[in-house]
């Protein structure tokens, strides 16, 4: 223990039970009798898939399923993910982004910038939010101003993206340094777009597996999915979402989800089931990949 550092034994543990924060006066060492082999962080959104809990587990020296701190943080931030996708040569929709303070002070100026660059409709998204939370579609200036204000309540950065008249498709990626891509599934949303309600509540959206697309388009999607996974230095699992333009069949990346949903209507496990990997087998593979990456991250030479 170096000067200025807290010994592990002096750290007490807090945990959440329902909506109640419980303080446990036991120290970390009190739990060493039941050694944790690996953690499966079944968490979404801020602090769950943005690298926060991953960083905590790194500090604790505990293997965990899924992407590391860097890829989790960048994958959660739509703006920075777009910067990396552009560097990786993956086509995507054009965009602008603004801060919460800019929106509060210069909403009309921002609206004009958006209208100078795009035609309506446009999509407005918080840069850091999962499960399509805070996302709106605006068809005119009034809707744009309301959507900017709404998105700014969810994050300090807000992205405005051009509308793509495309089919929504998804591809699952599994692995570490040599990832493999699943077949491609298509989402046919019951709503105007695939929002939070469509994902988790109404269960009325249709899933088509495999997607009814030409073979060359399917292969392009799978190649882009693996390229995005590697560009962000992902590990374990990710689901990569795309648009396929209805007329030109051009493939555009939408976003990467470094901790995709695992509900019974979630695309990730369904895609691998189509490939012959059961839910239980998928979990076992993810645990093996977590331990493999943990061992690979061990420094061979002490600093």
Residue 270's domain is classified under what CATH number? 3.30.470.20
Domain boundary among 27, 48, 65: 65
In a domain, 2, yes or no: no
Domain boundary among 129, 162, 195: 162
Task: Place 36 in a pLDDT band, splitting at 50, 70 and 90.
Answer: confident
Task: Place 43 in a pLDDT band, splitting at 50, 70 and 90.
Answer: confident
What is the CATH classification number for the domain harbouring 113?
Answer: 3.30.1490.20
pLDDT tops 90 at residue 122: yes
Strand, coil or helix: what is 280? Answer: helix
Q: How confident is the model at residue 22, as a pLDDT? A: 44
Structure token digits, residue 82: 């777009």
Q: How confident is the model at residue 11, as a pLDDT? A: 37
pLDDT tops 50 at residue 201: no
Q: How far is CA 191 from the centre of its chain?
A: 21
Structure token digits, residue 188: 């046919």
pLDDT tops 90 at residue 174: yes
In a domain, 301, yes or no: no
Q: Residues 81, 101: one domain?
A: no
pLDDT tops 60 at residue 263: yes
Domain range holding 258? Answer: 73-91+165-296
What is the domain count for the chain?
3
> 150 Cβ partners below 8 Å, 6+ apart?
124, 134, 136
In a domain, 279, yes or no: yes
Cα–Cα distance, 168 to 193 (Å, whole number)? 9
Q: Residues 79, 215: one domain?
A: yes
pLDDT tops 60 at residue 183: yes
Share of the chain above pLDDT 90, in %: 72
Share of the chain above pLDDT 70, in %: 82
DSSP for 209-251?
SS-S--HHHHHHHHHHHHHHHHHTT--EEEEEEEEEETTT--E
Q: Residues 80, 183: one domain?
A: yes
Q: How confident is the model at residue 20, as a pLDDT? A: 42
Structure token digits, residue 262: 């695992």
pLDDT tops 80 at residue 235: yes
Region class of 42: left (phi > 0), else alpha (psi between -120 and 50), else beta: beta
Q: How confident is the model at residue 193, as a pLDDT? A: 53
pLDDT tops 50 at residue 5: no
CA atoms within 13 A on the CB side of 157: 12
By mean pLDDT, which of 43-57, 83-97, 151-165 is the weakest?
43-57
In a domain, 248, yes or no: yes
Q: Residues 14, 157: one domain?
A: no
Q: Residues 191, 261: one domain?
A: yes
State the pTM of this model.
0.83
Q: Residues 233, 264: one domain?
A: yes
Cα–Cα distance, 47 to 38 (Å, whole number)? 19
Cα–Cα distance, 11 to 271 (Å, whole number)? 41
């Amino acid at each position: 223990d170096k000067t200025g550092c807290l010994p592990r034994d002096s750290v007490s543990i807090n945990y959440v039970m329902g909506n109640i924060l419980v303080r446990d006066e036991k120290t970390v060492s009190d739990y060493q009798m039941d050694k944790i082999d690996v953690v499966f962080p079944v968490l979404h959104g801020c602090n769950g898939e943005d690298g926060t809990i991953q960083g905590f587990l790194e500090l604790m020296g505990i293997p965990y399923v899924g992407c590391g701190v860097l890829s989790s943080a960048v994958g959660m931030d739509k703006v920075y993910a777009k910067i990396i996708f552009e560097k990786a040569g993956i086509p995507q929709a054009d965009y602008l982004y603004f801060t919460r303070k800019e929106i509060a002070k210069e909403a009309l100026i921002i609206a004009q910038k958006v209208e100078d660059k795009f035609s309506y409709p446009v999509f407005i998204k918080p840069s850091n939010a999962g499960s399509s939370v805070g996302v709106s579609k605006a068809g005119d200036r009034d809707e744009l101003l309301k959507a900017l204000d709404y998105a700014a309540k969810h994050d300090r950065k807000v992205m405005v993206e051009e509308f793509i008249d495309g089919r929504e498709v998804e591809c699952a990626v599994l692995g570490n340094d040599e990832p493999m891509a699943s077949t491609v599934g298509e989402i046919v949303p019951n709503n105007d777009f695939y929002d939070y309600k469509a994902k988790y509540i109404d269960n009325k959206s249709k899933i088509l597996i495999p997607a009814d697309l030409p073979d060359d388009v399917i292969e392009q999607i799978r190649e882009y999915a693996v390229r995005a996974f590697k560009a962000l230095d992902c590990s374990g699992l990710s689901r990569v979402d795309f648009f396929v333009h209805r007329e030109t069949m051009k493939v555009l990346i939408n976003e990467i989800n470094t901790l995709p949903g695992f509900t019974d209507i979630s695309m990730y496990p369904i895609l691998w089931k189509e490939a012959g990997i059961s839910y239980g087998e998928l979990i076992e593979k993810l645990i093996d990949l977590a331990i493999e990456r943990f061992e690979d991250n061990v420094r061979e030479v002490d600093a």
